[in-house]
Amino acid sequence: MNIQPLFDYIARYVALTIEEQELLLANVNRRRYLKGQYIVQQGDICQFENFVLSGCVKSFYIDPEGHEHIAMFAIENWWVTDLGSFIKQRPADYNVLCLENTELVQFHHKKLEELYQKIPSLERFFRIIIQNAFVASQDRIVQSMSVPARERYLAFRQKYPQIERRVPQYMVASYLGITKEFLSKIRSQLIHEQ
């Protein structure tokens, strides 16, 4: 399992010395999951921040009526965890499930805290990527308020074509906050339109 993509990804934001890279390497786990396995389950105390080397996962919430709501997908070069559970070390509200066989680099909560002390650049790196994630998240809130489902679907398609190809349609619908039936209707409208 080649960890190089992680270093390449980090190098886009900060420069780590060789020693820092080695220290980091000594303090992460690599792990394979099979399609259908859970990386995090609602109720767990989430131990890891995960970087996806290969594969595809979804993070989702099951509401009291038993309906699933997909918070995000993650594929190669994305990060995924239940961040609330990870940082506060409290039971997870979300599940993270593999949609394909998946390879991860896992940062254990406690070891990451230690790494932050030893490698200030790493803390900088996480500050930057979380900032970016927060901006995207805010935009998604405003989009869900101001943009109708059809346009949101078109935007999703444009922004994440790789994901649309890899996950079933009903999960895309859930991510967009609509039912699979309604997404199906939107798609048939789009087809018959031109």
Q: Which residues bind DNA (CB under 7 A)?
A: 148-150, 168-170, 177-185, 187-188
Is residue 145 a contact residue for its own copies (CB under 8 A)?
yes
d(CA 56, CA 160): 13
**Cross-strand partners of 95:** 60
- Is 174:181 a contact under the CB 8 Å cutoff? no
Letter for the amino acid at 145? Answer: M
Is residue 189 a contact residue for its own copies (CB under 8 A)?
no
Binding mask 67-86 for its own copies (x = CB under 8 A): x-x-xx----------xx--
Stretch that binds its own copies, among 23-31, 35-43, 99-107, 118-126 (CB under 8 A): 118-126
In the bound complex, what is the minimum distance in angstroms from residue 164's beta carbon to DNA? 10
**Cross-strand partners of 160:** none
Stretch that binds its own copies, among 7-15, 35-43, 134-142, 159-167 (CB under 8 A): 134-142
DSSP-derived secondary structure for 26-95:
HT-EEEEE-TT-EEE-TTSBP-EEEEEEES-EEEEEE-TTS-EEEEEEE-TT-EES-HHHHHHT-B-S-E
Residues near its own copies (CB under 8 A): 61, 63, 67, 69, 71-72, 83-84, 87, 93, 116, 120, 123-124, 126-128, 130-135, 137-142, 144-147, 177
